[in-house]
Amino acid sequence: MTSALRVLGIDPGLTRCGVGVVDVRADRAASLVHVGVIRSDTDLPIGERLAVIAAGLRAVLAEHRPHVVAVERVFAQQNRATVMGTAQASGVALLLAAEHGLPAATHTPSEVKAAITGYGSAEKLQVQTMVARVLRLDALPQPADAADALAIALCHAWRRGAPQAGAAADGALTPAQRAWAQAEKAAARR
């Protein structure tokens, strides 16, 4: 059996934090493991909202046991409050990855769009459509935060996941490639 790299993609947000878990094989074929959105009530104090997001991410990490975590990189927007909430949720995601001993990476929205659609300025509907096609889903993943999380996970696996044949010693691999190689070794031992 061919092992797969399991990637947790996170579209950070304070109100809606998209999460998507995919398994991606070395041939780039992907399958859906989990998709959802962690929501925090806007009436709660910021610390409690971050705790809600952390609890939701911990549950996903415990249940699905990803090999790597990929988070959308925070980018400048007009709305400072939105940027701050996104940055805070992103920080929680990166912290939890580190606490679980998982390699983590960030990807810009344009990197994700380019990886999924071939065009770095693609519209959300184009990204959702390609994610649905790649994962062989009957419907577009909803809401957009969940679709974005799946796109982030796929982007990471495709850009950095599978080690190339003849890759040098472990030190020459990216963290995601090392995780992939470790998963391959574990599957071979079974």
CATH assignment of the domain containing 175? 3.30.420.10
- pLDDT band with cut points at 50, 70 and 90 for residue 160: confident
Confidence of residue 15 (pLDDT cuts 50, 70, 90): very high
Q: Which entry of 11, 111, 138, 184 is annotated as an active-site residue? A: 11
The mean pLDDT value for 47-51 works out to: 97
The domain of 129 spans: 5-189
Q: What's the number of domains the chain is made of?
A: 1
Q: Which of 23, 41, 72, 111 is catalytic?
A: 72
pLDDT of residue 184: 56
Residue 80's pLDDT band, with cuts at 50, 70 and 90, is confident
Is 43 designated active site? no
Q: Is 48 a catalytic residue?
A: no
11 is catalytic: yes
Q: Which residues contact 57 (CB under 8 A, 6 or more apart)?
A: 10, 17, 19, 38, 92, 93, 96
Global pTM exceeds 0.85: no
pLDDT computed for residue 74 by the predictor: 81
